[in-house]
Amino acid sequence: MNKSTQAFQTVAAGGAFHIEDIYPIIDGGRFPVKRIVGEPIEVWADIYRDGHDVMAAALIWRREQDQDWQRTPMRHFANDRWTATFVPDAIGRYVYAIEAWTDEFATWRHGVELKLKAGQDVTLDALEGAGMLTRAVHGGAEALATVHRQCENYLQTGEVAPLLAPDLRDAMAESQARPDLTRSALLPLMIDRDRARNGAWYEMVPRSQSKVPGQHGTFRDCIERLPDIAAMGFDVLYFTPIHPIGRVNRKGRNNALKADPGDPGSPYAIGAEEGGHDAVHPELGTLDDFRALLDACKVVNMEVALDIAVQCSPDHPWLKQHPSWFKRRPDGSMKYAENPPKKYEDIVNPDFSCDDAGSLWNALRDVILFWVDQGVKIFRIDNPHTKPLRFWEWMIREVQLRHPDVLFLAEAFTRPKLMKGLAKLGFSQSYTYFTWRTQKWEIEEYLRELTRYPERDFYRPNFFVNTPDILPFHLQGGETWMFKARLGLAAMLSSTYGIYNGFELIEHEPIPGKEEYLDSEKYEIKVRDWDKPGNIKPYIRDINRARRANPALQQISNLRFVDIQDPDVTGFIKYSNDLTNVVACAIALSAEPHEVWFPFGDTQVEVGGERRAVAAVENILTGERFGVEWGGLHLRIDPQRDPATLFRCLA
């Protein structure tokens, strides 16, 4: 059973043992494998040596900062493949390794048993075995007591039987010396809390939460909105930047180069005379108000994620305090951020290659630590692919060694390998290309990519259906069924997904010909009627309730697409690790009604310790039950009513 696509090998000094093809492992152990606290971690490896001596192996692990190892024996599976399982009981950074050695006493014991079976004399063999007992000094008190007792029994009787006792076999396995013990290299492992894998995100612009047109929203306004957001079932409230906004080169409405009086500017032009990345915009309130918001979120079982953009407005305090952190052009003018042909005159980027780069790195790390001290444990990092990878690896490690419960989301819509590279080096979650995957074949192909090995061991996808920057073409028609379908796909396929506020109101007005919102609230304050007729808030609530009630929907690894003979309907099955919760889902990708056959194949459900075929299903949203006949279910999907059908499988 070879799950690893990466080969790793340790050879003992002298060539006694080979430990190779270890699973799980990322890039030969260069990057940590990711797991969730409290879940069993299955480890496999090929272990072999020359000759016929009996081998033993153990899996060892510890947190990075600890000194003592925990260990568990590995068992031989087949064909030199060994396996063991361990369960980290705390979050944090771990290392694990595999040890192998010759079990000299077991080798002796096996030989004696063969000789006895053949009727041969074992007098000298017994002396050799007794001699091994005198060198057993490494075990615990109970094991050593067993060794001493059986040695005394042998000396009194002269019989080999005491040396073959099962309790002595076990005691010697623990106590004997291991002169040829071989240890693999230490392999990294990141154990996260469950929110790293599972959650529903609601993104909003805090200044747009006021009820009065034209009036700047506050943290208090955000608190008033919490019951509405919590009622929809969201776990994470994600804010765009909350810092003071620069005045130099401030952008106007619809990204105009010149702001009119009263235009609030882009929240991504961070910093002004009121402060920088460790300050809040004064019109939002105070730090005490922000901490009150964090406390209010806890009451409704939500937590806040902050947007961290490593960029500054031209009047950010750092430009005066640390001018060497920023580049200037040959004529002495400021070098503004660019993405040719685009130019962002309201933003300048720090220079990570400056002579004082160490101080810059420390300052950015301290920004994160500042907000952690306020109570924030989730950070969405804006455009991390435009900053040095080595910086992110260092910064995330620095923060998580102090606060292992802190999570980082990489907002990087860039080249796939670079996106995966960011995930490997430490980002807890990642944005994806789901936003643009619309056809059945490309959705299924993309999910197979995300759930295969080794991606499933380091890449945790967060499926956002829209963002302040992205209004996908397929949403621009404003068709309610399409909004529901995209929500269903994101929420059912991925264990973590998100929406940007206004999605629930079917907001869909684009800049003509572009995937961008017209009158974007990145450049203006909006006031909405959050109960506007035609909203899909009840639908979102039901979907999120289904996710919370079904462990199968809270993970992404156990996903299997089924063969539905309709190019505009995708069907899949998700199941919990223990198979006690299995969910079947069919989602329409076009507006017309669909009649399809949903085949369950060999899908099984665990009931009372026994695995059984699917005999019936229960509609998760309506509670209706249907029997399964001929191995499947006939479905009629009317997207105008509900494009997604969700069933809990019953045995």
Closest CA to 252 of 572, 596, 636, 520: 520
Q: How far apart are the C-alpha atoms of 76 and 150, rounded to whole Å? A: 28
Q: Residue with structure tokens 């950074």?
A: 93
User: How wide is the angle at C-alpha 109 spanned by C-alphas 107 and 110, nearest 5°?
Assistant: 65
CA distance 22 to 437: 34
Q: Distance of alpha carbon 506 from its chain centroid, rounded?
A: 29
Give the burial string for 494-533 (b: 16+ CB within 10 Å, else e).
Answer: bbbbbbbbbbbbbbbeeeeeebbbeebbbbbbbebebeee
d(CA 240, CA 8): 42
**Residue 461 contacts residue 423 (beta carbons within 8 Å):** no
Query: What are the beta bridge partners of residue 239?
Result: 204, 306
353-372 burial, b if ≥16 CB within 10 A, otherwise e? ebeebeebbebbbebbeebb
How many CB atoms are closer than 10 A to CB 125? Answer: 18
How far apart are alpha carbons 262 and 358 in whole angstroms? 38
Collapsing DSSP states into helix, strand and coil, what is residue 291? helix
- 373 annotated ligand binder: no
Rounded Cα distance, 127 and 117, in Å: 19
- Residues 250 and 514 sit within 8 Å (Cβ to Cβ): no
Helix (H) or strand (E) holding 368: helix 357-374
How far apart CA 408 and CA 380 sit, in angstroms, is 6
User: Do residues 437 and 464 make contact, with C-beta atoms less than 8 angstroms apart?
Assistant: no
CA atoms within 13 A on the CB side of 103: 19
Pairing of β 496-500 and β 199-204: parallel
End-to-end Cα distance, the chain: 29
Which residues carry out catalysis?
382, 411
CA trace torsion 469, 474, 476, 482 (10° rounding): -110
Question: Is 346 assigned to a binding site?
Answer: yes
Distance of alpha carbon 635 from alpha carbon 646, whole angstroms: 11
Q: Is 522 known as a binding-site position?
A: yes
Produce one character per residue of 552-580: b if its CB has 16 or more CB atoms within 10 Å, e if not. bbbbbbbbebbebebebbbbbbbbbeebe
DSSP string, 171-203: HHHHHS--TT-EEPPPEEEEEE-GGGT-EEEEE
On whether 251 is known to bind a ligand per the annotation, the reply is yes
Please state, in angstroms and rounded to a whole number, the distance separating the CA atoms of residues 179 and 533: 76
The reply to whether 433 sits in an annotated binding site is no
Binding site listing for alpha-maltose 1-phosphate = 251, 311, 346, 383, 522-523
Residues annotated as binding site?
A: 251, 311, 346, 383, 522-523
